[in-house]
Amino acid sequence: MAARRYKAFLSYSHRDKRIAEWLHRQLENYRLPAGIDLPDFRSGIRPIFKDREELPASDNLGAELEAALANSDALIVLCSPNAAISPWIAKEIDLFKRLNGDARVYPAVVDGDPPYNMPPPLLVHYEDGTPTEELAEPIAADLRPDEDGRKLGVQKLVAGLTGVPLDELVDRHGQERHRRMAIIAGVFFIGMVFALGLALYAIQQRDTARAERGEANGLIEFMLTDLREELEPVGRLDLLDTVGERAMDYYAGQRLEDLTTDELARRSRAVQLVAEMHNRRGDNEQALPAFREAARTTGELLARNPDDPDALFAHGQSEFWVGYIAWQRGENETARTALEEYARISSRLTAMDPTNLDWQLEESYALSNLGTLAGDEGRHEDALPLFEKSVAIARRVAEEEGRPANLLVELGLGLSWVATTRQELFDFEGSAKTRREEIALYDEVLAEDPGNSEAQQAALFAKGRLGWLMSLFGRDREARMAFDDAARLARLLRERDPNDTVTTEMAITVYAERARHYWRRGLDRRATEDFERVEQLLADLTARDPENQDWAIDTRASLELTRALTDRNAMAPARMKRLAAKWLGLLDPNRERHQLLIVAAHFLHGTALARESDRAGSAAAYARAISIETDSIGATSLRAVAAQRIGQTALASQLRGRLAELKIDPSYDDRLPLS
């Protein structure tokens, strides 16, 4: 019997399985527009081979896969950071190119940026079945929303597979779409909503035949997938709001125990799509109940198949989304319950198959989520072991995968959480040690790929925090080196993308901390230069979004109060009092991050009154600064000076003793403006 012939072989990472299944369905069901008649493609671009699952740890692809590759007219490669490090995808590309050369290989970008998301053989030119020293220059269809998008990306692939010019394909589809949408936007859509209403009525009456229910489920899935693809180009996505609402009404009338396993799976997919649609539009008020309904459905699937890995994974993802949205909305109890279930499922999956590295990473992410939640609630002692366990898993996976760049950065970000948590627990030496380990990972990545922006941005933050720690310890040389490295990265990243607000926020922190370091060391001119840089960057941010309270209140208050106590401490007392009053009126004493700033404002007010010889008023202002109990290092230093100035020497010694226990340089406060 002759081997089956395939129109294409779809090569993808297991972590990109969802979009691979979508693309497979799109291509196999594709219909060429009227006027283009290719006998080989009248029934779609089928068959396409996509059944590769996890392969054993072997260099042998397997006879079935090798036969499928040999009998495929083309190779489609889903490109992502996960695909770039997959040895199996690399082997598939190599085998196909040895048989067919470069011409029929079609990359499709789903995540990451070329060439860092492309498996190495994709970038190598093959001549007569042999790799050469020349580079291939594959032209990729980019399925990401901000690039070609899914619709145009599919059309690019179809153009390559069929040989039809892309312009002709797009033009003919456009003509067909406009004819079709004139009907769809009216009669067809009304008919669908009417059909949903009938389905809702039928299910409520409990006499709907299973076949009719299956048609209704299929109709909903079509409207939330294929119809969305049709409505998006003509700007009618608003119609989907009604679809989502009717779909949720329809599902509310179902009894999960009455549904088959297949119906449950379709239901969970459809409800998940409704939830994601709301989440992408920022409507978490609607997204959360939809994610909860998806979790209820996957929970029923799991109850029927408690040992099925796919059911476990699907339910874990549903629980993650419930937890994530609840966390965004400040519903911490709901978030904790859902994220703990996600972590439990991830741990169980890892126990079922310890060789599955993807599941190990899911467990790492789950533990990190729980650590983040604990840290947000101030439970840093609970957060630390969660972050440490997450890092241990990420480290093991990175080693087993050969230390690829994306996993090294992932590991570094995990260490960043550990360092920050140790800092919150006042383990400054431990925090500094972890920061150095984190920075070493980014340096390793950048040694191989100097332009890796993800590693550069992570290193910018880490080196800035290390500079702050070294400055506290009085280790000037190490502090300056770390600050200068961070400032260099900030300039580089901002030159590359001046609109990246995250980089700008990090740059503000680095320059402000370096300015304080300069000032404490008597380098006033350099301090002022850095403070002026902060002024410019902050003005840029607030011009973009004047309503952003972090920028307009928190960062602005920190900058103005810091400068009033450092390089601008010679300002007139009246101006000091106005500045202090301004921020005491705007800052919230119930917010932990505002407490240091309120202490600084009272201290500034006391300094101004002392300069006006108002001893009673000054003492009262200093007393108010002392009365705010906070563990902040900066606030402790200011409170110690305030206590000293009003004669509370025992308290001043106690506060300074606390800094000494933490091995913090006592010169931290010795240049504060004198009364």
Give pLDDT tens digits for 567-592: 999 999 999 999 999 999 999 988 88
Tokens of 409: 């950065």
pLDDT at 201: 52
Tell me how far CA of residue 48 lies from CA of 10, 200, 345, 537, 585, in angstroms: 7, 37, 33, 52, 66
Q: Lowest-confidence range among 76-90, 217-231, 370-384?
A: 217-231
Residue 187, pLDDT > 60, answer no
Integer Cα distance of 50 and 72 in angstroms: 11
Residue 595, pLDDT > 60, answer yes
* CB distance 105 to 138 below 8 Å: yes
The three-class DSSP label of residue 133 is strand
Residue 229 neighbours by CB distance under 10 Å? 13
Residue 282, pLDDT > 70, answer no
pLDDT at 216: 53
Residue 481, pLDDT > 90, answer yes
Task: Tell me the mean pLDDT in the region 48-73.
Answer: 68
Q: What is the DSSP letter of 554?
A: I
* CB distance 16 to 83 below 8 Å: yes
More confident residue, 208 or 601: 601
Residue 181, pLDDT > 60, answer no
Q: How confident is the model at residue 17 (pLDDT cuts 50, 70, 90)?
A: confident
Residue 15 neighbours by CB distance under 10 Å? 18
* CB distance 549 to 584 below 8 Å: no
Write the CB contacts of 365 (distance below 8 Å, at least 6 apart in sequence): 346, 390
Residue 585 neighbours by CB distance under 10 Å? 8
Task: Tell me the mean pLDDT in the region 76-93.
Answer: 89
Candidate ranges 278-287, 306-315, 379-388; pick with highest mean pLDDT? 379-388
What is the DSSP annotation of 134-195?
A: EEP----EE-STTTTHHHHHHHHHHHHHH---HHHHHHHHHHHHHHHHHHIIIIIHHHHHHH
Residue 183, pLDDT > 80, answer no
Tell me how far CA of residue 595 lies from CA of 69, 378, 554, 600, 625, in angstroms: 64, 15, 11, 9, 10
pLDDT at 278: 67
Q: How confident is the model at residue 474 (pLDDT cuts 50, 70, 90)?
A: confident
Quick: pLDDT tens for 330-356.
788 888 888 888 889 888 888 888 888
pLDDT at 54: 35
pLDDT at 206: 43
Quick: pLDDT tens for 112-162.
888 888 888 998 999 888 888 888 878 889 998 888 888 889 999 999 998
The owner of tokens 């949720």 is: 248
Which helix H or strand E contains 124, and what residues bound it?
Answer: strand 124-127
Tokens of 648: 């509370």
Integer Cα distance of 349 and 215 in angstroms: 34
More confident residue, 369 or 171: 369
Strands 124-127 and 130-135: antiparallel
Residue 9, pLDDT > 90, answer yes
pLDDT at 145: 82
pLDDT at 673: 62
pLDDT at 242: 52
Write the CB contacts of 525 (distance below 8 Å, at least 6 apart in sequence): none
Residue 469, pLDDT > 80, answer yes
Integer Cα distance of 405 and 96 in angstroms: 26
Integer Cα distance of 400 and 485 in angstroms: 31
Residue 197, pLDDT > 70, answer no
Tokens of 611: 């300069």
Integer Cα distance of 210 and 199 in angstroms: 11
Q: What is the DSSP letter of 116?
A: T
Average pLDDT over the chain reads 82
Q: How confident is the model at residue 247 (pLDDT cuts 50, 70, 90)?
A: low
